[in-house]
Amino acid sequence: MGDPKKSRRKWETPGHPWIKTRLQREMELMGIYGLRNKRELWIAETMLRRIKHRARALLTLPVEEQRRQLQQLSLKLYKLGLINTTSAEINDILNINVEAILDRRLQTIVWKKGFAKTPHQARQLIVHGHIAVRGRRITSPGHIVTRDEEPYIALYPTSPLLKGKEIEAT
């Protein structure tokens, strides 16, 4: 199980970190999504890499087992909001890109829902405790929001930003 004080890294660094096109793409994504550092991008890339690895591993299984596990994987990815249907094919899963994962971060959703004017402001609102999901304060901008949680994103009830506004549906 391991020592709780020695948690594992959630990311893997790129194999060739100094490729110019990679550096430009990383900086572009950091600007678009308001990421604090490249580690946040690497976490999303690692998550995507593990999903694609699991999808590729399905190809080696017998047909019935492959169908069953593909259904489980596509249901999980649908709940996360990464694909649009629960009956996805392996090619649909392999076509997911890192932007799909970055779009599911709480920071991005708060920005796109209009709570903040910029992704940087959305990050600040989350870190300072002004955003709640299902009435629970979330202070991690990298929290992956599921489809079920998305309608329940609102300002925290005791947030000074409410100032006379009615609390949104929770």
pLDDT in tens, 32-82: 999 999 999 999 999 999 999 999 999 999 999 999 999 999 999 999 999
DSSP one-letter code for 14: -
Side chain identity at 21, as an amino acid letter?
T
Quick one: tokens of 99?
């932007």
Residue 9 within any structural domain of the chain: no
Beta carbons of 96 and 132 less than 8 angstroms apart: no
pTM: 0.90
pLDDT in tens, 138-155: 999 999 999 999 999 999
Residue 6 has pLDDT above 50, yes or no: yes
113 and 88 together in one domain: no
Quick one: tokens of 79?
């709940």
60 and 110 together in one domain: no
Buried b (16+ CB within 10 A) or exposed e, 122-147: bbebbeeebbbbeeeebeebbbbbee
Number of domain units in the chain: 2
Its domain, for residue 142, covers: 105-155
127 and 56 together in one domain: no
Side chain identity at 152, as an amino acid letter?
Y
CATH at residue 134: 3.10.290.10
Cα–Cα distance, 100 to 113 (Å, whole number): 16
65 and 130 together in one domain: no
98 and 25 together in one domain: yes
Q: How confident is the model at residue 136 (pLDDT cuts 50, 70, 90)?
A: very high
Helices (H), 34-62: 38-58
53 and 28 together in one domain: yes
28 and 66 together in one domain: yes
85 and 111 together in one domain: no
